[in-house]
Amino acid sequence: MSRATVPPGAGKSPLPGLTSWRMTVSASEAGAARPGGAWPWAVLLALTCAGVYLTLRPPLFHRDGYVYRLWALKPDPFYNANPHHLLWNEVQIGLVHLGEAVGLSDTVPFQLFGILANTATLFFFFLLLARASGQAGFAIGATLLVAFSPKFWFMGFQNQPYVLVFPAVVGFLGAWAGPQGRLASTPQLLAAGLAVTAATVFHQAAALLAAAGCGALLLSERGPWGRRLLRSAAFGVGGHQEARKFEPAGRAPWFRRTPSRADAWPRRRGVDSSRPRW
């Protein structure tokens, strides 16, 4: 009766650090899979995308994006805040003053800001994918797919508040990335909560990320069910309270806009800019 041959090393579990950053394509990708090795690739990819954006920058033609700028040019711009994008009006005001300070006029500062925000999103998105998958080729391909997708391209050039929601969502996902099978640490939960808050002040629907966090805590981790339920409820209540902070401001009388001369240009074309399409 023959004895089965046991290969050397059988039964031994691979080192977690090597497993999570293992590459299967080439030696160059192996370097990019390490936390430190991914940074040069992220910088190169982000600069390449930014160069393409600057070279092919279209004009600002979207109505809402143009009206956001007009609101910031009014005599009392702080009264024009949109409760659905609470702090976007303040960003617009800052861009107006920054453009005046550096000698840029018209729509250029607003589009440059969108390009900068999208480039930052792509940078951190690549790092997140490289850390989660351990494959630089996959991370590069997925990042390029996002970078040149129609919606992402449109948002970056047309002065939309979503360019600040995107990096907050990437930060939210990055806060959860860690060893599988372990409960998220308190610093991770705090970082995720801050990311939800940052996303919500630029689009109120981002508060639903808190519900996703509750589901992740309850279903996707190991540990006693009681502890999971408690942490899930605590995270959900915290996210809900952060979202509710902005509801009174959105209903406040000083958010109700009144027509002005800045609204006259679209009204002459049969469009009422005092009722934007959110």
- Give pLDDT tens digits for 263-274: 444 444 444 444
Q: What is the pLDDT of residue 231?
A: 67
Q: What is the pLDDT of residue 5?
A: 57
DSSP 105: -
Residue with tokens 């009144």: 258
Q: What is the pLDDT of residue 20?
A: 40
Would you mind telling me the total number of residues written for the chain in this entry?
Answer: 278
| Burial per residue of 207-239, b for 16 or more beta-carbon CB atoms within 10 angstroms, e otherwise | bebbeebbebbbeebeeeeeebeebbeebbebb
Q: What is the pLDDT of residue 184?
A: 66
Residue 170's contacts (CB-CB under 8 Å, 6 or more residues apart) are 121, 124, 125, 128
List, for residues 28-52, the tens digit of each pLDDT value: 444 444 555 789 999 999 999 999 9
Q: What is the pLDDT of residue 252?
A: 43
Q: What is the pLDDT of residue 254?
A: 39
Which range of 83-92, 142-151, 234-243 scores highest in mean pLDDT? It is 142-151
Neighbours of 22 (CB within 10 A): 13
Average confidence (pLDDT) over 183-187: 72
Q: What is the pLDDT of residue 130?
A: 93
Dist CA 124 CA 153 (whole Å): 17
Average confidence (pLDDT) over 227-243: 63
Counting beta carbons within 10 angstroms of the beta carbon of residue 183, is it exposed (0 to 12), middle (13 to 18) or buried (19 or more)?
Answer: middle
Residue with tokens 């509750």: 214
CA 271 to chain centre: 31
When computed from its CA atoms, the radius of gyration of the chain, rounded to whole angstroms, is 23
Q: Residue 112: is its pLDDT beyond 90?
A: yes
Q: Residue 224: is its pLDDT beyond 90?
A: no
What percent of the chain has pLDDT above 90? Answer: 28
Query: Confidence band (pLDDT; 50, 70, 90) for 142?
Result: very high
